[in-house]
Amino acid sequence: CGVFGIYAPEEDVAKLTYFGLYALQHRGQESAGIATFDGKQVHLHKEMGLVSQVFNESILQHLVGQLAVGHTRYSTTGSSRVVNAQPAVVATRLGSLALAHNGNLVNTEELRSELLRRDCNLITTTDSEMIAHAIALEINEGQDWLEGSIRAFHKCLGAFSLTIATPEGIMGVRDPNGIRPLVIGTFGSNPVRYVLASETCGLDIIGAEYLRDVEPGELVWITEEGLASFHWTQKPQRKLCIFEMIYFARPDSIMEGESLYTYRLRLGRRLAEEAPVEADIVIGVPDSGIPAAIGFSQESGIPYAEGLIKNRYVGRTFIQPTQKMREAGIRMKLNPLKDVLAGKRIVIVDDSIVRGTTSRKLVKALRDAGATEVHMRISSPPVTHPCFYGIDTDSQDQLIAATKSVEEIAKQIDVDSLAYLSWEGMLKATGEDPNSFCSACFTGDYPIPVPEMVKRSKLM
Ligand code: 5GP
Ligand code: SF4
Ligand code: MG
């Protein structure tokens, strides 16, 4: 999911949030929502669909106020329905709160029982709504916004990057491991105003300057007085999701002090060092495989070419294609360039293989287009384990590398050769302390303990 927040009484906060969400659309295409506060009054609009489908000028005009939060959703818990769209709005003794969540809690069963025991009325099925209710319960028992929220966060286990709007200000929060990203931006002067976004591309679009990340285990409270920081947990230890860097976040977002484009180029260069191959051209799988493909080309000296053209307008639509179209498969999204590919030995680079279904269809399309050899190179290690922290990499039985060796996968997707970047190589290219990243989907080494019952739902 994508989250956004802004405090700026002199601006059209709904419109700025709309643009912020537009830049964060890649983080979730199922539903979108914005909540604004004007004094104590909350204004909310959320619907299924893309940001551009959910909002128009007249809807935005009704979302008045001095502060706002917004959300783009893709579901990891709870079904894909409008009741599960965010922000989640809950009434409290001090007025409403509106919460936008990116991540996934692993102790929802425990949390749900506690909330029900304390007479809380849960309407939807998401972990995100539970966080909002947990805060409201504390507030209603006499706590203030900050103390109440912090008490609630202590009851949450898992990944949560949050933006929360209240009548008084907005909060930006990260779990003690900072699994999902969240950044702070500033704009204007006298007074300086603050913005929160999942990624820096959400700041760029509204002309805000990147200030810094919200730290793991930090809460920032942004009000008329400016920004105040609270370290709400004793033992923060950063475990940033490495899959954000490899695949999920936009290439123009800055993480670890550089664009993810530059980072992904380096993954591709290292891949070329680790797994060289003789070929005529290197192509990437649009969009996420392109930077690594360019890096592979730079390191290997094999020319880079565009071999697949992506239809930019294929999102998740509500009109399902016919069965016949589905069989035509990926052509709806990616179309091969026959005159580039015919008669060539091809290296095709992608960022990851999850189920292997896309890869198999792609390879077939390349062969149909006349490629004489197809060598696949993947700029991350085999995905062998499911994610419990908010990336939808499926249950373990769906992951092709969970049960098959690299040779077996090569056979199944019908390539002449297949190689993945090594785990060590990936971390070396990442250049930081390997302990500061989660890479559990490649290793099974989960940094936040996952309860047995939850594990059983996704592990073989
Ligand atoms: P596959 O060959 O596994 O069917 O598809 C691999 C492609 O899916 C890659 O291009 C990769 O960018 C993309 N991908 C990687 N992780 C995820 C994920 O968690 N969800 C979805 N929907 N796609 C993913
Ligand atoms: Fe990211 Fe994988 Fe860890 Fe999930 S398991 S948080 S996708 S690195
Ligand atoms: Mg991709």
Place of tokens 């890096």: 295
Which residues have C-beta under 5 Å from ligand 3, the single-atom ion?
Answer: 288
Atom of ligand 1 lying closest to residue 360 CA: 2
The mean pLDDT of the chain is 94
Q: Which of 441, 442, 445 to mutate to test the pocket of ligand 2 (most atoms within 8 A of CB)?
A: 441
List the residue whose alpha carbon is closest to atom 13 of ligand 1: 352
For residue 222, which of 184, 189, 253 has the smallest C-alpha distance? 184
Q: Name the pairing type of β-strands 308-310 and 334-336.
A: antiparallel
Q: Which of 76-85, 160-169, 302-311 has the lowest mean pLDDT?
A: 76-85
Q: How many CB atoms lie within 10 A of CB 218?
A: 21
Task: Tell which atom from ligand 2 comes closest to the C-alpha of 383.
Answer: 2
Please return the burial class of 368, using the count of CB atoms within 10 Å of its CB with bins 0-12, 13-18 and 19+. Answer: exposed
Query: Angle at CA 103, nearest 5°, toward 138 and 423?
Result: 140
Question: Of all atoms in ligand 2, which is nearest to the CA of residue 447?
Answer: 3
Q: Determine the average pLDDT of the residues in 189-209.
A: 97
335 SS3 class: strand
Query: Which of the residues 1, 201, 387, 438 is marked catalytic?
Result: 1
d(CA 97, CA 81): 21
3-state secondary structure (DSSP) of residue 343 = coil
Q: In this model, does residue 337 exceed pLDDT 80?
A: yes
Count of Cβ atoms closer than 10 Å to residue 41 Cβ: 12
Cα Dmax for the chain:
73
CA-241 nearest atom, ligand 2: 1
Edge to edge, the sheet with strand 170-174 lists 88-92, 95-105, 158-165, 170-174, 218-223, 226-231
pTM of structure? 0.95
Rounded to whole angstroms, the Cα distance separating 385 from 67 reads 40
* Cβ(159)–Cβ(175) below 8 Å: yes
Q: How far is the CA of 5 from the centre of ligand 3 (A)?
A: 28
Is pLDDT at 320 greater than 60 in this prediction? no
Give the model's confidence band at 329: pLDDT under 50 very low, under 70 low, under 90 confident, else very high: low
123 CB-contact burial (10 Å; exposed 0-12 / middle 13-18 / buried 19+): exposed
Please name the residue whose Cα sits nearest to atom 5 of ligand 1.
358
Per residue in 38-91, pLDDT (tens digit) is: 998 999 999 999 999 999 999 999 999 999 999 999 876 667 778 889 999 999
The residue whose CB lies within 8 Å of the most ligand 2 atoms, and thus the one to mutate among 105, 106, 177, 179, is 179
Rounded to whole angstroms, the Cα distance separating 173 from 377 reads 37
Helix, strand, coil percent content, the chain, rounded in steps of 5: 35, 25, 40
Ligand 2 pocket test target in 74, 76, 102, 241 with most atoms within 8 Å of CB = 241
Q: Averaged over 181-206, what is the pLDDT?
A: 97
Q: What is this model's ipTM?
A: 0.91
Report the nearest-CA residue for atom 15 of ligand 1: 352
CA 326 to chain centre: 26
Q: What is the pLDDT of residues 348-394, one digit of tens each?
A: 999 999 999 889 999 999 999 999 999 999 999 999 999 999 998 77
Q: What is the DSSP letter of 93?
A: T
How far does residue 391's CA lie from ligand 2's centre (Å)? 7
Q: Does residue 1 carry a catalytic annotation?
A: yes
**Cα end-to-end span (Å), the chain:** 26
Give the number of C-alpha atoms closer than 13 A to the C-alpha of residue 213, restricted to the C-beta side.
Answer: 19
Ligand 2, CB cutoff 6 Å, lining residues = 179, 241-243, 387, 389, 391, 393, 438-441
Which DSSP state fits 46?
Answer: E
**Which phi and psi angles does 420 have, rounded to 5°?**
-110, 155
333 C-alpha vs ligand 3 centroid, how far in Å?
11
